[in-house]
Amino acid sequence: MTAPLDASGSAAEAQPESVLAGAGKAIQGRSLTRIAWMRLRRDKIALTGGIVVMLLILVAIFASPIIAVFGHPPLEFHQEQIDQSTLLPKGTFGGMSGEYLLGVEPINGRDIFSRIVAGAWISLLIGFLATMLSVLIGTTLGVIAGYFGGWVDLVIGRLMDVFLAFPLLVFAIALAGVVPDKGFGLEGNGLRIAMMIFIIGFFSWPSIGRIVRGQTLSLREREFVDASRSLGARNGYILFREILPNLMAPILVYATLLIPTNILFEAALSFLGVGVNPPTPTWGGMLSEAVRFYTLPHFVLFPGLAIFVTVLAFNLFGDGLRDAFDPRAH
């Protein structure tokens, strides 16, 4: 039988150098945002959607220089590109060439590429601003309903039901017919854009309001909220310092998913002729004009493809954000 090793003396004493070897290394915690970013980086599909979204935003911001370099003014006619006997674009594929990247429109010869780029800022502007209005109203009423409960929750809940049952498209069409040319310090397309932002944003808040209400009902029962109450914190402090910061992640996720819905609604209004006045280019307006020329697939394809890619990119990015912030959602 082997005798045990002698552990007495200096060999058994703990060496201060070995004990303190890692004392200078700080242990870094990971925030929710950092963890979400790590998850999002692994989702290649969501990252692709996010990259496309960023490119679309850049195209909308720098539409004028892009058109100046690669196209022609979106309202400029090019009758020399039109066959006067058929009123259709000359050449193949709708007149596509190095000068007209996506061809020209029938009858007037306007540059399709320039009109799609110019229409991007209107779609994204209305989509973003309408979403901001929906988030502001929905978050405010959702937090109030979820936190206070009782008759307050009952009244706001029934208000949500009324707005969800409201025939929004019919109301938008009816309202567009009575909107004056001037009002509220705006006129022309500026007034119509403001009207669409208000209609889409004001009537879309219940969807995000219900989500915020449900999250608030869960958060108000958490220990840190009870601790704040026990220390004498008022309702305003608890709402703005304890509950609202913990709602930022779901609000961001569902706002990202709401933007493409609003973009589609704007395109539908423009398609029905109650959006921005022509000849200002919009994707929905271009589709409406293209219906008459169903024999020219490129005239329908490119504005439809712009809407499809935009909505798909936002949805993919929004789904990725949701999975990153809440991997248990599935």
Within 8 A by CB and 6+ apart from 281, the residues are 74, 75, 114, 115, 116, 118, 119, 122
Phi, psi of 265 (to 5 degrees): -65, -40
Q: What is the CA radius of gyration of the chain?
A: 28
Long-range contacts of 53-58 (CB under 8 A, 24+ apart): 53/313, 53/314, 53/317, 56/120, 56/124, 56/309, 56/310, 56/313, 57/124
What are the CA-CA distances from residue 77 to residues 38, 146, 280, 299, 310 (Å)?
50, 56, 13, 16, 27
Host domain of residue 115: 34-325
Q: How many domains does the chain have?
A: 1
Establish if 9 belongs to a structural domain: no
- The per-residue b/e assignment along 195-229, b for 16 or more CB within 10 angstroms, e otherwise, is bbbebbbebbbbbbbbbbbebbeebbeeeebeebe
Per-residue pLDDT of the chain (330 residues; tens, 9 = 90+): 455 545 445 444 545 554 445 545 554 556 667 777 787 788 888 889 999 999 999 999 999 999 999 988 888 888 888 877 777 788 777 778 888 888 888 888 888 999 999 999 988 999 999 999 999 999 999 999 998 888 999 999 999 998 888 887 888 777 776 777 777 777 777 888 888 898 888 888 898 999 999 889 888 888 888 888 888 888 888 888 888 888 888 888 888 889 998 998 888 888 887 888 888 888 988 888 888 777 777 788 888 899 999 999 999 988 888 777 765 554
Number of other CB atoms surrounding residue 62 within 10 Å: 14
Long-range contacts of 301-306 (CB under 8 A, 24+ apart): 302/102, 302/112, 302/113, 302/116, 303/112, 303/116, 303/119, 306/116, 306/119, 306/120
Within 8 A by CB and 6+ apart from 260, the residues are 127, 310, 311, 312, 314, 315, 318
User: What pLDDT is recorded for position 136?
Assistant: 94
What are the CA-CA distances from residue 217 to residues 150, 159, 193, 227 (Å)?
12, 18, 36, 16
Establish if 17 belongs to a structural domain: no
Establish if 246 belongs to a structural domain: yes
User: What pLDDT is recorded for position 31?
Assistant: 64
HSE (side-chain half, CA atoms, 13 Å) at 200: 28
User: What pLDDT is recorded for position 131?
Assistant: 93
User: What pLDDT is recorded for position 29?
Assistant: 56
Burial class (CB in 10 A: 0-12, 13-18, 19+), 128: middle
Which domain CATH number covers 214? 1.10.3720.10
What are the CA-CA distances from residue 256 to residues 86, 123, 168, 243 (Å)?
45, 15, 21, 21
User: What pLDDT is recorded for position 26?
Assistant: 52
User: What pLDDT is recorded for position 102?
Assistant: 87
HSE (side-chain half, CA atoms, 13 Å) at 273: 4
Establish if 168 belongs to a structural domain: yes
With CA atoms as reference, report the closest residue to 317 among 263, 267, 246, 258.
258
Establish if 108 belongs to a structural domain: yes
Name the pTM for this structure.
0.81
Establish if 230 belongs to a structural domain: yes
Rounded Cα distance, 229 and 225, in Å: 6
User: What pLDDT is recorded for position 3?
Assistant: 52
Phi, psi of 89 (to 5 degrees): -60, 145
Establish if 330 belongs to a structural domain: no
User: What pLDDT is recorded for position 327?
Assistant: 55
Establish if 18 belongs to a structural domain: no
Helical H runs in 166-296?
Answer: 168-178, 189-202, 205-219, 223-230, 235-237, 248-271, 283-290
User: What pLDDT is recorded for position 142?
Assistant: 92
